[in-house]
Amino acid sequence: MTRSNFTTHVAVAVIVNSQQAVLLALRHAHQHQGNLWEFPGGKVEAGERVYDALLRETQEELGVMITEAEPLLQVSHDYMEKTVLLDVWRVTQYSGHPRGQEGQRLRWCPISDLKHTDFPAANVAIIQALQTAGAHL
């Protein structure tokens, strides 16, 4: 497998409900890091602002409209075959009911149970941030 010097920039939504559970999506088997759970989001297009990508991706993937979000953290991770830069946002307000618009499974997972869920390695820093923040989300 050839290695690419290209970094994939991804806008990531961390949506936490009032029961301190976070919304997760299951990656399709054919995708990079397939059959692992992830926080919803998607690629930032060339020339697109990260916040605009966040709005677009959550609308396309989940059918929800974000009305308020704030930056949480950035994570850079180097997989053997590609590098990703995750721009992670904490969604504080949205309208609509999340559903898998692209056929992906969704589930709400208590923050305390995230450590028992299979994620891509790049998500470890997000999980740590969520568990550290706990009730302050």
Tell me what pLDDT residue 2 has. 47
* Nearest-angstrom CA–CA distance, 63 and 70: 20
pTM here?
0.87
Q: Where are the alpha helices (DSSP H) in the chain?
A: 50-62, 124-133
* Nearest-angstrom CA–CA distance, 89 and 116: 22
* Nearest-angstrom CA–CA distance, 91 and 84: 21
Residues of the chain short of pLDDT 50, as ranges, are 1-3, 135
Concatenate the DSSP letters of all residues of 96-113 into one string: S----TTS--EEEEEGGG
Indicate the length of the chain as a whole number: 137
Q: What is the DSSP letter of 131?
A: H
Radius of gyration of the chain (CA): 14
Tell me what pLDDT residue 88 has. 97
Domains and CATH numbers, the chain: 7-136 (3.90.79.10)
